[in-house]
Structure 1
Amino acid sequence: MTDAELDLHAPELAREDFLRIEDPYYSPDTVAVVTGAASGIGRATAVALATNGLTVVGADIDEDGLAETTEIVEEFDVDGTFVSTPTDLTDDDDVEAVVDAAADQGDLRFVANIAGMQHIASIPEFPMEKYDLLTDIMLRSPFKMAGAAMSHIRGTDDGVGAIANMSSVHGHYATKDKPAYITAKHGITGLTRAIAAEGEGTLRGFSVSVGYVLTPLMVDQIADTADERGISKREVIEDVMLGQARTKEMMAPAEVANLFVFGFSTHASHLNGADLLFDGGYTHTYE
């Protein structure tokens, strides 16, 4: 099959895709903030949590994408709700505002820092303005979000909650041409552990690491990687992305969202300062 015949697109979400868990905190009185909620993993996680009955405040700069997420939640007729909140995650005031808005909706207990971006270039050729933007969104913003949310979580009747950070297999190892992304994902590991260290057991911090997920961001990255390395898109998928993996298919966004559903639940009370690694055998197996 040639590149022209490749039909790469993110899968549409379906209600049956999502894990449902009976949990005392999974109710409309419980609020979760989800960043990057306008598309991809962030959208799927917002829908998954609303499907489990929570009030979800979705933060993203893409207002049209947030409107589409709202439509999906309404179409699924779930027990929870989705509150669209346009947010510039590079603006500290906006981050504080979305956290305060979430706390006004009920008991803010959960934060999913998922928003991300990618830029493909080697270290000598990497534009510093792209580095700054990427790390602002993927490292500074989660730090600020945690700082703003922790007092609200601690202020609930029992102080129970969790802050989850989207990491990656690139938070475990490095490959070429993704230096800023790798830097941010390794940094998010430290932030996750710092949250757990300060959480006193009831406020947990954890991260989620996956391999390649078929999102709009990933579709763009396939093309960029093909251009950067001078190979075909199919070679990018089969050799670069899935070559070392044992599970030879990309994850769907809903599969990643289900990890956040489990991680926030009381079934995961010992998941603290640690990482949920679902990578199809990519990180710890070799030829």
Structure 2
Amino acid sequence: MLKGKRALITGSTSGIGLAMARALHAEGAEVVLNGFGDADEIAAICDELGASHQGANLLDVGAIEAMMAEVGPVDILINNAGMQHVSPVEDFPTDKWDAIIGLNLTAAFHTTRLAVEGMKAKGWGRLINTASAHSLTASPFKSAYNASKHGIVGFTKTVALELAQTGVTANCISPGYVWTPLIEGQIPDTMEARGLSREEVINDVLLAKQPTKKFVQPSEIGALAVFLCREEAGNVTGANWSIDGGWTAE
């Protein structure tokens, strides 16, 4: 279904980004990975997917420009790279603020501005930005993350309107808590710190805001990304797709 399409996915060497890369590869897309991690593990993923890897630091505009030039025109761009820091606003480290806004929002602006010309020339393109349930609601102590995710939705809507008659769509995917190795690794520490059982940590801490009491699976996000790339989704643009177990329904 996506044979002949080239997809660049940032933050795709693990977690959600890797799941989306695998889903697009399964549909025939040529995948370009971006992200950090163990070199041998990344090489194995590239072998698995027949993919290439770009290790560009997305906080460096020059590195983004070099990556986009080396990759060349892409049909699908998924801006997935992101980071988080938790702190009261009065104590929030300014360097962490700059890094979170830079990676979660500004990097997506730079990759997008460099990708759209080629998409417009082809009359076809798919821009997908990974937002978050925190693009629709806020949690305390996450000021930079909340700001960046609200911002990426506004950016996506603007791009969708600008490109509405070009054959290029722009949408967000907004997950709730996703079952990844990073989340799984937090459970033992939280059990010890709060004196809770594993089940209590999962249901009463991590999934407290998700009515289904189920983690979103990375493969589910991958499937949604594939749908947004399909021809049948050609009139789906400017939307923010929640996949959060009902979190933002309240």
TM > 0.5 between the two? yes
Match for residue 137 of structure 1 among 94, 97, 103: 103
Match for residue 134 of structure 2 among 149, 160, 170: 170
CA distance in 1, matches of 2:91, 2:109: 27
Match for residue 70 of structure 2 among 74, 78, 101: 101
Residue of structure 1 in register with 2:211 after alignment: 246
- The alpha-carbon distance between structure 1 residues 31 and 43, as it changes in their structure 2 partners (threshold 3 A), is same
Tell me, yes or no, if the aligned pair for 1:32 and 1:102 is still in contact at 8 Å: no
Q: Which runs of 5+ in 1 are unaligned?
A: 1-22, 74-80
- The alpha-carbon distance between structure 1 residues 196 and 223, as it changes in their structure 2 partners (threshold 3 A), is farther
Shift of 1:169: 0.6
Tell me, yes or no, if the aligned pair for 1:62 and 1:86 is still in contact at 8 Å: no
Residue of structure 2 in register with 1:70 after alignment: 46
Displaced runs of 4+ in structure 1, greater than 6 A?
Answer: 223-227
What TM-score does the superposition give when structure 2 sets the normalisation length? 0.90
- The alpha-carbon distance between structure 1 residues 220 and 131, as it changes in their structure 2 partners (threshold 3 A), is farther
Between Structure 1 and Structure 2, the one with more helix by share is: 2
Q: Which runs of 5+ in 2 are unaligned?
A: none
Shift of 1:260: 0.7
CA distance in 1, matches of 2:189, 2:110: 30
CA distance in 2, matches of 1:36, 1:232: 32
CA distance in 2, matches of 1:132, 1:61: 19
| Deviations, residues 63-91 of structure 1 (Å, cap 9, x unaligned) | 62532421432xxxxxxx31111111111
After TM superposition, list the pairs within 5 Å mapping 1:1-287 onto structure 2: 23=1, 26-27=2-3, 29-62=4-37, 64=39, 65-73=41-49, 81-103=50-72, 108-156=74-122, 159-201=123-165, 202-219=167-184, 232=196, 234=198, 235-285=200-250
| Deviations, residues 265-286 of structure 1 (Å, cap 9, x unaligned) | 112112101111111111113x
CA distance in 1, matches of 2:75, 2:102: 24
CA distance in 1, matches of 2:242, 2:21: 20
CA distance in 2, matches of 1:195, 1:244: 31
- The alpha-carbon distance between structure 1 residues 111 and 222, as it changes in their structure 2 partners (threshold 3 A), is farther
Tell me, yes or no, if the aligned pair for 2:216 and 2:243 is still in contact at 8 Å: no
Q: Which moved more, 1:120-129 or 1:185-194?
A: 120-129
- Alpha carbon RMSD of aligned pairs, Å? 2.2
Tell me, yes or no, if the aligned pair for 2:79 and 2:130 is still in contact at 8 Å: yes
Alignment length (residue pairs)? 247
Tell me, yes or no, if the aligned pair for 1:161 and 1:203 is still in contact at 8 Å: yes
Shift of 1:132: 1.1
What TM-score does the superposition give when structure 1 sets the normalisation length? 0.79
